[in-house]
Structure 1
Amino acid sequence: MRVAFAGTPEFARAALQRLVAADFEVPLVLTQPDRPAGRGMKLTPSPVKQCALERGLVVVQPRSLRLDGKYPEDASEARAALEAARPDVMVVAAYGLILPRWVLDLPRLGCLNIHASLLPRWRGAAPIHRAIEAGDAVTGITIMQMDEGLDTGDMLLVEREPIRPDDTTGSLHDRLAALGARLIVEALELAACGGLSRTPQPAGGVTYAHKIDKAEAAIDWRQPATVIERRMRAFDPFPGAWSVLAGVPLKCWRGVPAGGSGEPGRVLRVEAQGPVVACGEGALQLTELQKPGGRRLAAAEFLAGHPLEAGAVFELPPAEPPGT
């Protein structure tokens, strides 16, 4: 089976690695154009491009796949490359570009998507973040037959994955990436022998995982402590929950619900494990903090260099922190 691949971030790299290791022929890889990254804003290839080049695979990086869009020359180049590759199927994982009808129809078996949720819950761009933020107890991977809708295609394989009480987006991402890589190989092996069945998504239970906006990560201490704690884990490693104290923006990476009440944002007490901050309901002990330009530190280590007293008040949103 000839498998074209379309993906961009680390989540997709895991799937590409697994496909190559399983001896599928990968005649073409599509990924997003190189982006500026790091302090020097140097053009950097995506994790998928790096993986593909390491394995000697052909890579194409169109800015768009729409033949009538803003970059028709990119789309035409991608179409010629896909037609020359003659894929039986295309595997798509967190690619980041919309696939128009000509792409969906080109492979004999269509396009299969690795989606990091139990569809139809959390269709859209940020299913891992939103599942943690919402307090879901379980998520998973859905291998989906793609259509022109937003994650609306028929389900082919589904496997559940519990969300642990201490999961961050980073830790859950890694487990789901590995699960998705395994499931797509299973799906392709079933497809090769005609054993892959399709199940329409349920009409009810649809939710949308909207793209993460940096402004969301500003901590609103008027919310319940349990909600703030989930949002801290949901925004770890990106963009990082933050709040301003005495004019200084601090990343607040970890917290645990604690006893106490008071004005939202006020530090009720400072303990060895970290400061306890009043919330709209209950209080939250901050256990991992980071100042601008510094490292993530356990609260005890942070406080040793940056003493904090009871009565100090964290600001409420909105302003986005400069330089973090």
Structure 2
Amino acid sequence: MRLIFAGTPEFAAQALAALIQAGHDIALVLTQPDRPAGRGMKLKPSPVKVLALEHGLRVEQPLSLKHADAQAMLQQVEAELMVVAAYGLLLPQAVLDIPARGCLNIHASLLPRWRGAAPIQRALLAGDAETGITIMQMDAGLDTGAIRSLHRLPIAADDTAASLHDKLAQLGAEAIVAALATLDQLPTIAQPSDGVTYAHKLEKAEAEIDWQQHAACVVRRILAYHPVPGAFSQWQGQGLKVWRASIVDHDTPATAQTPAGTVYQLTPEGAVVQCGQGQVRLDELQLAGGKRLSGREFFAGRTQWVGTTLGSTTA
């Protein structure tokens, strides 16, 4: 099938690779403009651009698709269908109407749950038992188009945003290839009005750990923000990133003697911290300016942490 592909990050690059492998004619690849990255802030191409150029595909990086010249470029391609995956630009109705068979989106949730920018992280924060991939027929709304196929994926207890991203990227690549192979047989089902939730864009401030929460909520936050932006707290005025943690107690409440955030005790595996209810063990962490270490390595010889309090107000 003659396609336009629109996508930017690694999640999208895996889908593009699968479509190339499946033998589709990728007539045009759209991706975000190169962005400054790294210490030198040199312009860096997106993973989709890198892959497309490796395969000799035509790449365009418009700032917007609202202008007539960009839309004329898409019309000239005469594509049968456009595949969109984490592109980063809104597609106006005029663009959605250009391909003969419209535009299919690879969305990393089971719509209508988690429409929007950060479905992987929001599913983890909410403690969802499963997520998945929706192949959606795009319309002008925010992830409101008709469902063409759903592909479910259980969320493992130790899944981070990184590990779940990788699983969903692979599933999305498989799902879009399967969808194009059976497109004429796929149903077109309007999304139900019940169960709609929105996966709002991540803000760095959200990643600060609130030790007043239940231990399960604290661990979910750490998993959801791993690796970016990384869940964080403070210890005696120093920044502290927490990369991994596990629940060791579900029930013990914080008290006046042991308030939330207190480093309760050291164990061979790491430090146990009191939450609003329950306790967590810090299994992997990093003090500002230091190395990322296992809890065992980090707390070796750091007995002075016992009895201190993590958070913006430290004891």
TM bucket by the smaller chain?
A: over 0.9
Q: What residue is the counterpart of 1:321 in the other structure?
A: none
Query: In 1, Cα distance between the equivalents of 2:169 and 2:112?
Result: 19
Question: Is contact 2:266-2:303 (8 Å) kept?
Answer: no
Amino acid at match of 2:294: A
Query: In the superposition, relative to structure 1, how do residues 2 and 253 fare at CA in structure 2: closer, same or farther (>3 Å)?
Result: same
Which structure shows the higher strand fraction?
2
Q: What residue is the counterpart of 1:243 in the other structure?
A: 233
1:134-149 matches, within 5 Å, as 134-149=126-141
Query: In 1, Cα distance between the equivalents of 2:195 and 2:304?
Result: 45
Alpha-carbon offset, residue 307 of structure 1: 5.5
Q: What residue is the counterpart of 2:177 in the other structure?
A: 185
1:13-32 matches, within 5 Å, as 13-32=13-32
Q: What residue is the counterpart of 2:43 in the other structure?
A: 43
Query: In the superposition, relative to structure 1, how do residues 305 and 51 fare at CA in structure 2: closer, same or farther (>3 Å)?
Result: farther
Give per-residue Cα distances to partners, 1:203-257, cap 9 Å, x unaligned: 1000000011000001111111110100100001111000010111010011111
- SS of the counterpart of 1:26? strand
Alpha-carbon offset, residue 306 of structure 1: 5.6
Alpha-carbon offset, residue 84 of structure 1: 2.2
Query: In 2, Cα distance between the equivalents of 1:189 and 1:288?
Result: 44
Q: What residue is the counterpart of 1:214 in the other structure?
A: 204
**Structure 1: gaps of 5 or more residues:** 68-74, 318-324
Give per-residue Cα distances to partners, 1:178-218, cap 9 Å, x unaligned: 11101101111112xx2222011111000000011000001
Q: What residue is the counterpart of 1:127 in the other structure?
A: 119
Question: Is contact 1:138-1:163 (8 Å) kept?
Answer: yes
Q: What residue is the counterpart of 2:189 in the other structure?
A: 199
Residue 75 of structure 2 corresponds to residue 83 of structure 1: yes
Give per-residue Cα distances to partners, 1:76-114, cap 9 Å, x unaligned: 2x3233122111000000001100011100000000000
Residue 225 of structure 2 corresponds to residue 229 of structure 1: no
Q: What residue is the counterpart of 2:156 in the other structure?
A: 164
- SS of the counterpart of 2:306? coil
Amino acid at match of 1:83: Q
Query: In the superposition, relative to structure 1, how do residues 279 and 4 fare at CA in structure 2: closer, same or farther (>3 Å)?
Result: same
Question: Is contact 2:237-2:312 (8 Å) kept?
Answer: no
Question: Is contact 1:7-1:92 (8 Å) kept?
Answer: yes
**Structure 2: gaps of 5 or more residues:** none
Q: What residue is the counterpart of 1:106 in the other structure?
A: 98
Q: Normalising by the residue count of structure 1, what TM-score does the alignment of the two structures yield?
A: 0.92
Aligned Cα RMSD in Å?
1.4
- SS of the counterpart of 2:175? helix
Query: In 1, Cα distance between the equivalents of 2:292 and 2:107?
Result: 31
Query: In 2, Cα distance between the equivalents of 1:85 and 1:293?
Result: 51
Residue 99 of structure 2 corresponds to residue 117 of structure 1: no
Give per-residue Cα distances to partners, 1:150-171, cap 9 Å, x unaligned: 1000000111000000000110
1:152 to 134, 144, 154: 144
Q: What residue is the counterpart of 2:8 in the other structure?
A: 8
Query: In 2, Cα distance between the equivalents of 1:12 and 1:264?
Result: 41
Question: Is contact 1:225-1:281 (8 Å) kept?
Answer: yes
Question: Is contact 1:219-1:316 (8 Å) kept?
Answer: no
> How many residues are matched?
307
- SS of the counterpart of 1:16? helix
Question: Is contact 2:266-2:299 (8 Å) kept?
Answer: no
Alpha-carbon offset, residue 149 of structure 1: 0.5
Query: In the superposition, relative to structure 1, how do residues 256 and 47 fare at CA in structure 2: closer, same or farther (>3 Å)?
Result: same
Question: Structure 1: which 4+ aligned runs deviate by more than 3 Å?
Answer: 304-308
